[in-house]
Structure 1
Amino acid sequence: MTTNRQTGRRLFQYAWTFRKPIFLALLLLAAAVCAELAGPLIAKRMIDNNILGIEKTWYETTGAGKYSVNYQGKQYIREDHVSYADSGQGKQVRVLQIGRKYVFLGGQLAFDGERTLSGSTLTVHSKDGREASYTVRQLSAGELFAFYRPEFGGMMTLAGAYFGLLLLVALFTFGQRYLLQTTANRIIQNMRNDVFAHIQKLPIQYFDNLPAGKVVSRITNDTEAVRELYVAVLANFFSGIIYMVAIIGALFLLDYRLALFAIPLVPLLYVWIIVYRRFAVHYNQQIRSRLSDINGMIAESIQGMPIIQAFRRQKETLREFGEMNDQHFRFQNKLLMLNSITSHNLVNVVRNVIFLAAIWMFGGGLLGAAITVGMLYAFVDYMNRMMQPIVGIVNQLSNMETAIVSAERVFELMGEPGIDVIDGTMPRYRGNVSFERVTFAYKGEEYVLRDISFEAKHGETVALVGHTGSGKSSILNLLFRFYEVGDGRILIDGRDLQQIPRQHLRHHMGIVLQDPFLFTGTIASNVSLNDPRITREQVEKALRDVGAYDMFAALPKGIDEPVIEKGATLSAGQRQLVSFARALAFNPAILILDEATASIDTETEAIIQAALDVLKKGRTTFIIAHRLSTIRSADRILVLDHGRIVERGNHDELMALRGRYYQMYLLQSGEDPSADRIAANMT
C-alpha cells in the first residue's frame, strides 16, 4: 500500500500541473477572508464611536457647524469632532446613560462607576467606595436624537463600506469556488485518464486476480472521492488557516489579552486532527474496501444473472450481498460516531467555555477599563468567526481521510508494473512460428506446458486438441505474449518474440474467441473497432467474405444496426460472425481461432467453415477445437495431454496411428473405440 507521504506527493504533483488557477483561487480566498474579517472592526467602530460615543466629553462652542448640537439655545460639539468647530473649546459637558434613560450633565464626572438616578439627582458609586452626586436633566427623545444626528452620516458611511465589503466577499468567494471546482474537475479528469491509460498497459494476468467491479470502483468512486480533497478540503483548510491567523492578528490589534483566549485553539486543533486521524484512517480503509467489494459483486451478479435465476441462487446471492453491505454499514456508523463526537458538538463546548471566561473577566473588571463594549462585541464576533473555520476543518477531516485512502487505492493500481505502449508499427511478418522447448507455469512450478516444440509455416493451419487443461490456450497466450515464456523460446520468422514489442507483434495477429466480445456501437464499428485505417468498403468485404453481409443487411439499419453491451441482441452465431469479420478486416499474418465454432449452430457452422478457406489464405492459422470434425483439413494437428505434445500429424496420419486422437475422434462420431480395438486385435 502506498504511504501517506508518497500519496501526498503524487496528489501535489497533480495539483501542481494546475498551480496557476489554484494559486489564483487561494489568493481570491485570502482576499475574501480579509474583506470578511473587516466587518467586526467596522461594527466595533460603529458601537464605540457612533453609538456609545455619545458618552464622550462634549464642549460648548459659539459657532454652529456640521457636528454641533443645539441644546437649550447653546451649541455643543463632541471631543472627537472638535477640530471641525468654528471656534475654540468651551465648557465641558456630558451625556450619560442610566439604564434606558439618558441625562445631560453640565460638567464632568470626577470618577465613573455604578450609576443611579433619583429624580434629577445622579449618584455614582465607584468600586473603591467613593460616592458623588450630580444634578442632571433627563433628555427627551427629540433632544437625544439631536445628539445622535451628527453621527448618522458616519454610520451610513460605515454601513455602506460594510455592504461594499459583503459584495467583494461574494465576488471573491464565487471566483475562488469556481476556479477550485473547475480545477479539481480537470485534475480528476487527468487522473482518470491516467488510470484508464495505465489499465491498458497492465498484463492480462493482473485482471485474472482482480474483479472488474473493483477496477471500476477505483476509476470512478475513488477518483470522485479524491475530487473532494481539491474542492472542499483544500478550500476549508486554507481558509481556516487564513481565518485563524487573521483573527489572532486582529485580536492583538484590539487587545493582547483577548488574543490570549484564541491562541490555545491552534495546538488544540492540531491535537484534535492527530487523534481523529488515528481512528479515522482504519475506518475509511475498511469502508472503501467494502465499497469496492460491493461494486465487484454487483458487476458479477449482473453479468451472471441468467445463471443466478436459472439455478435459483437469488436468496444466497442476496445473503452474500447483505453481509458485505452490513459490514460497510457498521464501519460507516463507527466513522459517523467518531465524527459526531469530534466535530460540531466539541467545537461548541470549547467556544462556550471561552465566551464564559471572557464575559466573567469583563464583568468582574479583570480585563480593565480599556476593554470597551464594542471591543467585547468584536471579540465575540471574531471568536464566532474563528469557530466556523475550525468546524469546517474538523468536518472535512472525514473527507480528507476518505480522499487520502481513495488516492492510495488509485495510486496502488497505477503503481502496478505495466507495459509501455510503443508507437509505430513494424512491417507485416510472414508468420513462420517456431516453439523451441517451451516450458511455462502460471504459478510457481505448477507447469501447464512442458518441453513444447513444433513449427507452423506461413500459410499452414495448425490445430491444437486435447482435454480441458491440457495447455492448448496457454500456447496461444504465450504466442500473443499475454504471458512470458518460462524456459525455451518462441520465434516468428526466426526472430525471438522477446525482441518484438508486444504492440508491434499483435498488430499483425487476429483472434476469434469462443465467446466473442462486442462493444457498444454498431455492427460496422465492431468490425473495424473504429480504426481509421479500415474503410467502410473493407468492413463490407470482410462481412461478405465470412458470409454474413446479407444476414446483417436484412436488419432495419443494416450493418449500422446498434449493438448494445456484449451484443446481447444478437445470436451467438451472429456475434461470432462479426468476430470473424473483425479478424479478417485487420488482415493478420497469424490468425487464432480459439473454440471459434463451439457455440454455433450447425447451419451457421457450415457458413463459417466455407469462410475459413478464405480466412486461412496467406496467413498462419492456429485452431483450438473440441469438435474434431472442424479440423480435418488442418495441415498439422497437435494432440496435447497434461502440457505435453503426445501426438502430431494430419488427420489421416493420426487416424492411422490409432492413438489418442483416433479414440477421441471415434467417441465424437458416436463409435465405440474399444470395439474397434478388439476387432483390430482379432485380425
Structure 2
Amino acid sequence: MSDSKFDYSGLKRVVKIGMSYRGLFIAVVIVAILSAVVSTYRPYLMKDAIDLYILNKDVNGLMKFIFLIAAVLFLEVALNFFVIYYANSIAQKVIKFLRVRLFNHIIKFKLAYFDRTPNGVLVTRSVSDIETIAEIFNNGILTLMVDALRMIFIISVMFYMNWMVACIVIVILPLMVVITNLFQKALKSVYQAERTVTAQLNTFVQERLSGMTIVQLFNRQEKEFEKFKVINKDLRTAFLKSNLYFALLFPVVEIISALAIGLLLWFGGLRTAMHGDVSVGEVIAYISYITMLTTPMRQIADRFNAIQRGLIGADRVFKILDDDQRLPNNGKELLTEVKGEIEFENVVFSYIQGSTVLNGISFHSKPGQTIAIVGATGAGKSTIVNLLSRFYDIDSGDIKIDGKSIYSIELSNLRSHIAVVLQDVFLFNTTIYENIILGKPEISLEQVQKAAKEIGIHDFIMSLPNGYRSEVSERGASLSVGQRQLISFLRAYVYNPEILVLDEATSSIDTESEILIQNATEKLTKGRSSIVIAHRLATIQQADQILVMDAGKIVEKGTHHELLNLGGYYQKLYEVQFQSSDF
C-alpha cells in the first residue's frame, strides 16, 4: 500500500464484508439519515424560539416551544446512541469473521511458513491488527457518513435561511478540507510505523517468555530488559508523534471556527442593524451551525485517521489471507485399509533452495516392519519424518505408501494413518485427557484408560492430583520430559495408526520413564509399520532394518548384527556409545 495514496481497494474490501450483514447495515444508514436531519433541525427551532417568542416576550408560547426543543434533543440523543451501537455491532461481526477466517487460513499453512515467520508477528496480525479494522466502522465510515449528511443538511438550511450569510460562513470549508488532507497524509506514515513497532514488541515479548529458561540460565535478565526498553521507547515515540499531530490539529480547527464566527458577527450584525434582513435568531442559529460544521469537520479528520489506521491493519491481514502458503492438496485417493508398506525412491529435498538436506534417499520397508534410522545430528533423520507426513514437499523423487505416491493421496487422509511421537512433546494448556484425544470426541475416557493400562502408564497418570482431568500448564511445563513423552505415546496409541514414527522419543529422559517408554514402544510397534529415529543404539537392536545416515545420504543398511560385521560407520557409533556407558 503506497504511503501517498488512500487504500480504496482495501476500504472497498472491508466495507463489502460489513455489507454482508445487510439488515444491520441498512438500519445504520436509515438511523444515520434521521440523526442528521434531527440534529440540523434543532438550531432552526432555537432561531424560531428567539425570533417568535423571546423577542416578542411570549412566555406561554416559549414554554411550549422549549418542550418541543427538548423532545427533539432527546430524539437526537437516542438516534446517536443507535448509530454508535449498530456501528459497533457491525464492527464486531466483521472482526469476528476476519479473525475466524484468518486463523482457519493460517493453521493450514505449510511448516516452512512458520519456520521463517516469527510467532509474534502472526499474533499481532490475528489480534491487534484485526482490532484496528473495527475502527473503520466504530469511528470511521458509518460515523463519517452521519457527519457528512449532517454537513449537507446544515449547509442546505443555512442557504435556505439566508444565502448571503451562508456564503460568508462556508468560506471556511475549503480551508478545512486542505488541513484535513494534510493531517491525514502525515498520520498515515505514523500509523504504519506504529503497527510495525507493535509487531516487533509482540515478537520480542513472545520469544522471551517462551525462552525464559535460557534468559535466566545465562543471566540475560538485565540485557533483555534493556532491549525491551528500547523497543518500548520506539513504540512510545510513534504514539507520541500521532498525538502531536492531533494536538496541532484541534487548535487549528478552533482558530478557523473562531474566524468563521467573527465573519458571521461582522456581516450578520451589519445586516441586522442596517438592513434588518437577518434576524437575531438567525445570527444565533448560524453560530450554532458553525460549531456543528467545524465539529464534524474536525471529527472527519479523526474519522479518516481511524479509517487509515484500520486500513493499515486490514492491509497486513489481507496480505496473509491472500498469501496461499498451503501445501498443494491435489491428491484424490483415500486410503482405507493401510498395510504399512513404505518406500522412498531417490528422494532429494532442501529446506532452502540450493542447500540440499537429503540427497538421493532410497529405502523400502515391508508392512509391519520396524525401520530404525541413526546418524549424527544434522544427518537428515528427522527430515525423513517430516517428508513422510508431507509437512514439506520434496524436490524430486517419490515417497509411497502401499505402492501409492503420497502426492496422490488426500492430505488429511494421509496424515490420519500416521502418528508421530516427537522428542520435544508439545502439550496444550488443558487436561491430560484433552491432550490425548485432541478434540476427537469419539475417543472416550474409558478407551483412554484401557489404552493407558495396556502400555503401562495408567498408574503414572492416576498419581497426578486429578488423574486424567489434571490440568497441564502451557507446553506441559508442569510435567517432566519423561511424563510428557509417556502422554504422547498414549496419544499415538489411542489414535491406532497404521504407521508409527518415533523421533528421538527415548532421549533426555530418566531411567524409570525410559523403562515405561520402552514397554510402550513394544506395544505401539507390535503389528504395525514403524520408523524409529534413535540416539541410543541399545533401543533399536531388534529393528528389522537399520538405516545409517551421514550428510543427507544413507551410507549403510542392514540389521544390527549385519552392520556390526561391516566394521563401518555404525560400528564406530556403537563403540563410542558402548565405551561411554562403561565410564
TM-score higher than 0.5: yes
- Structure 1 residues 468-477 or 422-431, which shifts more? 422-431
**Corresponding residue number in structure 1 for 2:253:** 347
Contact 1:511–1:593 (8 Å) recurs in 2: yes
**Corresponding residue number in structure 1 for 2:305:** 398
- Structure 1 residue 293, shift from structure 2 partner: 0.9
- Structure 1 residue 274, shift from structure 2 partner: 3.0
- Structure 1 residue 471, shift from structure 2 partner: 0.9
Matches within 5 A, 1:368-387: 368-387=275-294
Contact 2:169–2:263 (8 Å) recurs in 1: no
Matches within 5 A, 1:224-623: 224-341=131-248, 343-365=249-271, 368-419=275-326, 426-623=335-532
Contact 2:83–2:143 (8 Å) recurs in 1: no
Contact 2:176–2:253 (8 Å) recurs in 1: no
The one-letter amino acid paired with 2:401 is I
**Using the alignment, how far apart are the partners of 1:35 and 1:424 within structure 2?**
65
Matches within 5 A, 1:35-54: 35-52=38-55, 54=56
Distance 1:269 1:220, change over 3 A: same
- Structure 1 residue 382, shift from structure 2 partner: 0.6
- Structure 1 residues 6-15 or 288-297, which shifts more? 6-15
Secondary structure at the aligned position of 2:579 is classed as coil
**Using the alignment, how far apart are the partners of 2:580 and 2:486 within structure 1?**
32
- Structure 1 residue 425, shift from structure 2 partner: 6.5
- Structure 1 residue 330, shift from structure 2 partner: 2.1
Give deviations 1:455-490, integer Å, cap 9, x for gaps.
112111111111111111111111111111101111
**Corresponding residue number in structure 2 for 1:223:** 130
Q: Decide which structure has greater helix share.
A: 2
The runs of 5 or more residues in structure 2 that have no matched partner are: none
The reply on whether 1:629 has 2:530 as its aligned counterpart is no
Distance 1:619 1:268, change over 3 A: farther
Secondary structure at the aligned position of 1:622 is classed as strand
**Using the alignment, how far apart are the partners of 2:110 and 2:297 within structure 1?**
47
Give deviations 1:166-187, integer Å, cap 9, x for gaps.
2211222222222222221121
- Structure 1 residue 266, shift from structure 2 partner: 4.2
The one-letter amino acid paired with 1:214 is V
- Structure 1 residue 48, shift from structure 2 partner: 1.0
Contact 1:202–1:416 (8 Å) recurs in 2: no
**Corresponding residue number in structure 2 for 1:104:** none
**Corresponding residue number in structure 1 for 2:88:** 181
**Using the alignment, how far apart are the partners of 1:24 and 1:374 within structure 2?**
35
Contact 1:517–1:566 (8 Å) recurs in 2: yes
State the structure with bigger RCO (CA 8 A, min sep 6), 1 or 2: 2
- Structure 1 residue 368, shift from structure 2 partner: 4.2
Distance 1:370 1:270, change over 3 A: same
**Using the alignment, how far apart are the partners of 1:599 and 1:506 within structure 2?**
27
The one-letter amino acid paired with 1:379 is Y
Contact 2:361–2:553 (8 Å) recurs in 1: yes
Report the aligned-residue RMSD. Answer: 2.1
Give deviations 1:245-265, integer Å, cap 9, x for gaps.
010011011111122134444
**Using the alignment, how far apart are the partners of 1:339 and 1:614 within structure 2?**
69
The reply on whether 1:197 has 2:104 as its aligned counterpart is yes
Distance 1:46 1:636, change over 3 A: same
Contact 2:421–2:503 (8 Å) recurs in 1: yes
The one-letter amino acid paired with 2:429 is T
Secondary structure at the aligned position of 2:555 is classed as strand
The one-letter amino acid paired with 1:352 is A
The one-letter amino acid paired with 2:141 is L
**Using the alignment, how far apart are the partners of 2:333 and 2:264 within structure 1?**
74
Q: How many residues align?
A: 576
TM-score when scaled to structure 2? Answer: 0.95
Secondary structure at the aligned position of 1:511 is classed as strand
Contact 1:666–1:672 (8 Å) recurs in 2: no
- Structure 1 residue 10, shift from structure 2 partner: 2.0
Distance 1:355 1:603, change over 3 A: same
Distance 1:368 1:19, change over 3 A: farther
- Structure 1 residue 243, shift from structure 2 partner: 1.3
**Using the alignment, how far apart are the partners of 2:105 and 2:111 within structure 1?**
13
Q: Decide which structure has greater strand share.
A: 1
**Using the alignment, how far apart are the partners of 2:299 and 2:226 within structure 1?**
39
- Structure 1 residue 636, shift from structure 2 partner: 1.0
Secondary structure at the aligned position of 1:397 is classed as helix
Give deviations 1:578-627, integer Å, cap 9, x for gaps.
10000111111111111111121112111111121210123211111111
Contact 1:201–1:421 (8 Å) recurs in 2: no
**Using the alignment, how far apart are the partners of 1:481 and 1:13 within structure 2?**
36
Distance 1:467 1:30, change over 3 A: same
- Structure 1 residues 539-548 or 216-225, which shifts more? 539-548
Contact 2:141–2:303 (8 Å) recurs in 1: no
**Using the alignment, how far apart are the partners of 1:592 and 1:398 within structure 2?**
54
- Structure 1 residue 45, shift from structure 2 partner: 0.7
The one-letter amino acid paired with 2:18 is A
TM-score when scaled to structure 1? Answer: 0.81
- Structure 1 residue 331, shift from structure 2 partner: 2.1
Contact 2:165–2:268 (8 Å) recurs in 1: no
**Using the alignment, how far apart are the partners of 1:271 and 1:223 within structure 2?**
30
Distance 1:355 1:515, change over 3 A: same
The one-letter amino acid paired with 2:95 is I
Larger Cα Rg: Structure 1 or Structure 2? 1
**Using the alignment, how far apart are the partners of 1:591 and 1:43 within structure 2?**
82
The runs of 5 or more residues in structure 1 that have no matched partner are: 55-147, 674-683
**Corresponding residue number in structure 1 for 2:14:** 11
